[in-house]
Structure 1
Amino acid sequence: MPDHGLMGTLARAVEQLGSAEMDVRLDGIDLLARLADNSPAPLEEAAEALTAFVRRRAPASRLDDRLISTAPRPRPKAGPQADVQAALTALGRMPRHCEHRGLNLSGLDLGRARLGGLNLSGAYLYLTELCDADLRHTNLRNAYLAYADLSGARLQGAILSRTILNRANLSGADLREADLHSTNLSSMILREVNLGGADLVGTDLRNARLDDVDLLDADLTGARLQGTVMTGVRGLTLDDLQLVAWTDEHTQVQERPAEPGFDPGGRDQAGRSTRPPSSS
């Protein structure tokens, strides 16, 4: 027998999402989050309503899978509006048994979104703009991030094991202590990425190019580095790699001398941004 009281509350919350008033929309998002947290019955309905709301309210991505570039892009000046941010947070805090299979946030501009510590495992983020987003300790296991823009994103401690990152832009991203176990990064171009202390065990980096990348204390045991070219790399040598990873005659490593305060993730040792402020 359906719980008519529960379904009525769900319908009221969904109706609030369509309000012209920000406060009413925020109340609807909060109500959906509490419904999903307190009862498993409306979990999928709440997730679907919040996902549809984000897709309706967030701006569309400007990315094009025919025009992929790792060149610097204009930095977003602000993150998503308060209601979109609240809906994203609610989705990412859904109970852990909801793996977000089918959570589709593809093709949206979510630059500077605050997604740290959320569960986005299995989410679809194809062609999604996430530049300068806060993704610290976010669970992105098995997520689909092909062609996404993650430039300048903060991904310290994020779980990216078996995440699909084909042709994603990771330039300037901070991936310190991130879990990239068995992730496919083959043929990717990684520029000014901080992978210090990252788990790269079994990671596929064949034919990838790494420029000015920090690999200090990264674990590359069993990584596949055939044809990989590293220039200006900090934290290891070719001899180091040959002891723990799969290399071949085409694997190249050019070290970068250590510099005081150097952090290729775009931040100094205290975590402050070293990038100049964007001009108005």
Structure 2
Amino acid sequence: MAAACAVAVVSLLALTSGAAQAQTIEYVALGDSYASGVGTRSYIDDGSGCSRSESAYPSLFADAAGADLEFAACSGAKTGDVLSKQLGSLSASTDLVTITVGGNDTGWAGVVQQCAYPYPWTCDEEIDDAEAFIRDQLPAKLHAVYDAIESAAPNAQVVVLGYPRLFNGEECNAITRISPGEQSQLNAAADLLATTTGQVAASHGFDYIDVRDAFDGHAVCDDTEWLNGISYPIGESYHPNAAGQRDGYYPLLDALV
């Protein structure tokens, strides 16, 4: 009887151990600099040139959840780069995919920089062009990426994370002055980008995390900034800092998954 009980206990422990191992989340993080962690100023030396950070939301989530992370997101990536360079880690065994992408397709960084320059003054035109692109061309590009993710990772939960508004209407930088009116226009374009991305994600049955409310009160020039203003190196500018990743993006992802 004792021997039988011992065998039963050993079998139960083996099953429990196997179940625990099976619960490891196979996680692939896709996207651009907002996903890789540009702005946090601390990057993994992996030789990729992608500016991936242990302070970015994919790393924070993987560490907390004990997930097996394939960190494919890369600074500067457009939707076409995701299709051609980032989907190789996806498979039928992938449990979770996160992605932030689309901003670079619109030329968003260039738009903001142009609005910061005193000359030539083409801010309005740049914003109008970006909004036209978001309305007319970006949805098809996002659909192509999302279709590919569905095909490559058919069993995965897919979470699309959006972009915040950058500005609060104040001018606090004497070198690059973006007027309150220009800030309002840029925020309206960010709203269009967020709404468009969310609609396309929903059409695929993906979860969408809208981060705009979370970043309210933490924009450029707010007392507690979660976003860098103009910075050196210039590539750090207008990206979430470590606090923005930790206190803005990560809690929303953790609460959903």
TM-score category (smaller protein): under 0.3
The two structures have a TM-score, normalised by structure 1, of 0.25
The structure with the greater share of residues assigned to helix is 2
The two structures have a TM-score, normalised by structure 2, of 0.27
